């Protein structure tokens, strides 16, 4: 096996251990590191287990001990050059005598980046190697948040074929199928914040937790954020202690996201009603749309999104379709389709 082949296999392994189940999704990135001997064999490996724990490089170096001298470090993210809760990985690699560093994703964090330059200045052979796209996908929300200075926003809603999220009497429980609701909980688990408006809390009284098929909350829960100026009724389930809840007393989506970013939240799952959806869409603050479409017609009732002020088809907010999935139920009436989309830039309703 050539060194290049060994490094690529090591990067695949580093990505796999970085994605170890149970590692928190934020606020730090998921990172894996594999140390290779000159002959391409693995000396040690490590991965970051969450804020305040050793970084992946430090964990691998600790496992390797003196064997790290002369090794190649294959790491999914450019080693940091920043002292935070832990010391700079660049200095740890230099002190350990690592000969070469191969990394996948360049660190987008302006506070922590610069490790590659520090290593190169110390005489370490440094290369941005393979699988950068895979590394970025592993930390999609974190990369977006540190690049844009706000959390990534995914707007999720369920609708009938004619765009209704509830019937005229307000009932909406069976718009989405059991399979769609299970899928929603899977997506909730990939985010660190659930966001709704005060009206949704008052009218629908949602739990806003991630639950298993038995409706039992999972051990690790996203933050529950409620946005709006009104006080929350004390008997609402978002105040039941099953997960942490924060009340964002604002109607401004940009201010709400700034508050959440300051709380080190990286991925917001927007599940509010049509008014909140409109506010985020008009502010250009929806980055991903997940729609569950049920094969039913209502003809009247609450729209999935409130009036966007669009008077002509030329001003429509266009979406790019990224994925389509059929979520089969017990019969045809119970089948939903999940559409995953991105708003296209350039529409009048979107301002970056």
State residue 248's pLDDT score: 98
State residue 110's pLDDT score: 85
Q: Catalytic amino acids?
A: 57
- CATH class of residue range 3-139: alpha beta
CA angle at 266 for the pair 264 and 268, rounded to the nearest 5°: 120
Report residues of the chain scoring pLDDT below 70: 1-2, 332, 346-352
CATH code of the domain made up of 149-343: 3.40.430.10
State residue 16's pLDDT score: 97
Model pLDDT for residues 62-71, shown as the tens digit of each residue: 999 999 999 9
Burial of 136-169, coded b for 16+ CB within 10 Å and e otherwise, reads bebbebbbbbbeeebbbbbbbbbbbeebbbbbee
What does the domain layout of the chain look like in residue ranges? 3-139, 149-343
State residue 349's pLDDT score: 42
State residue 224's pLDDT score: 98
CA angle at 20 for the pair 14 and 25, rounded to the nearest 5°: 105
DSSP state letter for 191: -
Sorted by sequence, the CB contacts under 8 Å of residue 31 that are 6+ apart come out as 18, 47, 48, 55, 56, 57, 75, 76, 77
């Amino acid at each position: 096996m050539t060194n290049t082949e060994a490094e690529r296999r090591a990067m695949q392994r580093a990505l796999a251990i970085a994605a170890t189940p149970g590692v928190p999704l934020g606020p730090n990135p998921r990172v894996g590191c594999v140390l290779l001997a000159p002959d391409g064999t693995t000396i040690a490996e490590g991965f970051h287990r969450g804020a305040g724990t050793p970084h992946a490089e430090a964990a691998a170096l600790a496992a390797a001990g003196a064997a790290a001298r002369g090794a190649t470090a294959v790491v999914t993210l450019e080693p940091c050059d920043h002292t935070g809760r832990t010391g700079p990985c660049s200095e740890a690699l230099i002190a350990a005598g690592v000969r070469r560093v191969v990394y996948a994703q360049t660190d987008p964090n302006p506070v922590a980046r610069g490790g590659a330059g520090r290593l190169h200045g110390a005489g370490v052979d440094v290369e941005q190697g393979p699988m950068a796209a895979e590394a970025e996908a592993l930390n999609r929300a974190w990369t977006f948040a540190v690049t844009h200075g706000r959390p990534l926003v995914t707007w999720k809603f369920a609708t009938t074929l004619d765009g209704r999220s509830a019937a005229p009497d307000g009932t909406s429980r069976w718009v989405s199928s059991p399979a769609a609701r299970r899928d929603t909980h899977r997506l909730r688990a990939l985010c660190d914040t659930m966001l709704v408006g005060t009206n949704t809390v008052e009218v629908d009284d949602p739990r806003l937790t991630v639950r298993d098929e038995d409706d039992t909350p999972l051990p690790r829960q996203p933050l529950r954020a409620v946005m709006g100026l009104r006080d929350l009724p004390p008997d609402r389930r978002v105040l039941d202690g099953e997960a942490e809840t924060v009340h964002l007393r604002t109607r401004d989506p940009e201010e709400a996201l700034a508050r959440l970013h300051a709380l080190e939240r990286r991925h917001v799952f927007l599940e509010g009603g049509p008014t909140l959806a409109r506010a985020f869409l008009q502010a250009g603050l929806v980055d991903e749309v997940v729609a569950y479409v049920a094969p039913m017609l209502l003809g009247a009732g609450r729209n999935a999104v409130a009036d966007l002020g669009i008077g002509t088809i030329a001003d429509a907010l266009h979406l790019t379709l990224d994925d389509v999935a059929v979520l089969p139920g017990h019969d045809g009436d119970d089948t939903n389709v999940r559409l995953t989309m991105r708003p296209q830039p350039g529409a009048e309703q979107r301002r970056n």
